[in-house]
Structure formats: C-alpha cells, structure tokens
Structure 1
Amino acid sequence: MTDAPDPNAPRDPPEARIDATFRNGSMTVVGVLTAFSLGFLTQWSVDPKPWHRSDLAAVLPMVAGTVVQLLALKRLLHPDALRVSYYLRAIRLFLYGLVLLAAGVLVAVANDAITAI
C-alpha cells in the first residue's frame, strides 16, 4: 500500500515571483557594471607603472569583487531568478561584489596618493 498525499493537508503557498521583464532589466544593469569592472581591471593591469607588493591590497578586493559580480550575473541568468527570494539573493551578491570592487579602488587611490608624497 502506498501513502497517497492527503488532499486536505495544508500546502505551502506558491512562492512570489517577479516579472521576467524586471529581471531582464536587472541582468542588463549587472552585466554592464560587471563589464565595466572587467574593463577597469584590464586597464589597471596593463598600466606601465611597475607593480609593488602594496598593490596586492588593492587588486585582491577588486578581483574578488569582480568574481562575485560574475557569480551574481550567473545566478540572474538562471530561470530560478524569477523567484523573489532567489532574485534578491543574486542582487545582494552583486552589491557585495560592488562594495569589494569599490574598496579595492579606494585602496588603490590611497596607495597612489601615499606613494606620490
């Protein structure tokens, strides 16, 4: 004898979903900003100035932030990103990536300011 599901049992309410158009706009923003991040890292890496150990304090958060942004873009491309909870986690991940990238840029600017004195 198999256990058939009880038709009177309480069911989980369906999870809220976002409109696909809204998700597509978010993917565009995340994609463009991630491309800018990659472009910034590319330009920064080919700077003719010699690299120093202190530059690692700037480049590591920038690389980590860009990787996190790419992971967020990957999550937004997944069909589950239409679920509100999944979408919000992907956006939060992207914002963490932006913060990491911005921290790296600030460290680089501070490092250049200190070495210029």
Structure 2
Amino acid sequence: MSNENEPLVEMLFRNGTLTVVGIILSFSLTFLSQWAQNPIPWTLVDLPTMLLLSAGIITQGSSLVIFLRHDSLQRRVYDKASKVFLCGLAMTVSGVFMAIVIDFIQLIT
C-alpha cells in the first residue's frame, strides 16, 4: 500500500491520545520517584519491581516519541505507537502492583 492511499488518523484524535500518553507517563515517573523515596530499605526483592517499572516507563517514552513524529497520523504508525504504549502501561501497572505487594509483605513481617 502506498503512503498516499494509507488511511489517516484525525489530528484532533491523535492530539488527545498524545495528551493521555504524556499524562500517564508523568504519573508513572512520579510513582517511580515516590517509590524510590520509600522509607523501607531496598533489597534484592525490589529488583524485579524496579526492572518492570523502568522498562514500562522506557516503553511509554518510546511510544511518545513515535506519537510525536510527523508520520504518526498514518493509521499504521498510530496503531503501532498505541500497542507500544499499552505494553509499557501493562509493565508499569504490573510493577506498581508488585511494589505494593512487596512493601505490604515487608511491613507485616
């Protein structure tokens, strides 16, 4: 399929998605900084959580980069960026839940 015949995403819709991605990325970064300042000392048990959070944030950031490109109005590029963002969001949410569970277990033991 040539680029001229490729379906496009409306600019307003893409801009809304871009806003959502930026806001969720900032929440993810805020959680990471708050979690890093947690008074409970870090141990090796926290390493998988850190890796999940970091990988999720990096993946969300890479989707933001894709959304900021000029060709992100093409449906194919937009869909790719959306999938990358959802993968990053899933990793970050998993890391958040893992951090909560690990901190809770450390508090009760």
Same fold (TM over 0.5): yes
Deviations 1:84-111 (A, max 9, x none): 0100110110000010001111211221
Structure in which a larger fraction of residues adopt helix: 2
Structure-2-length-normalised TM-score? 0.91
Q: Which residue in the other structure is 1:49 paired with?
A: 40
> Within 2, Cα distance between the matches of 1:60 and 1:108?
11
> Within 1, Cα distance between the matches of 2:29 and 2:99?
16
Give % identity. Answer: 37
* Aligned CA-pair RMSD: 1.4
Q: Which runs of 5+ in 2 are unaligned?
A: none
**DSSP-derived class of the 1:16 partner:** coil
Between Structure 1 and Structure 2, how many residues are aligned?
107
Q: What is the aligned counterpart of 2:66 among 61, 67, 75? A: 75
Larger radius of gyration: 1
> Within 1, Cα distance between the matches of 2:97 and 2:35?
13
> Within 2, Cα distance between the matches of 1:59 and 1:26?
27
Alignment-mate amino acid for residue 45 of structure 1: A
Mean CA deviation greater in 16-25 or 41-50: 41-50
Q: Say whether residues 1:61 and 2:52 are aligned partners.
A: yes
Q: Which runs of 5+ in 1 are unaligned?
A: 1-10
CA drift at 1:75: 0.3
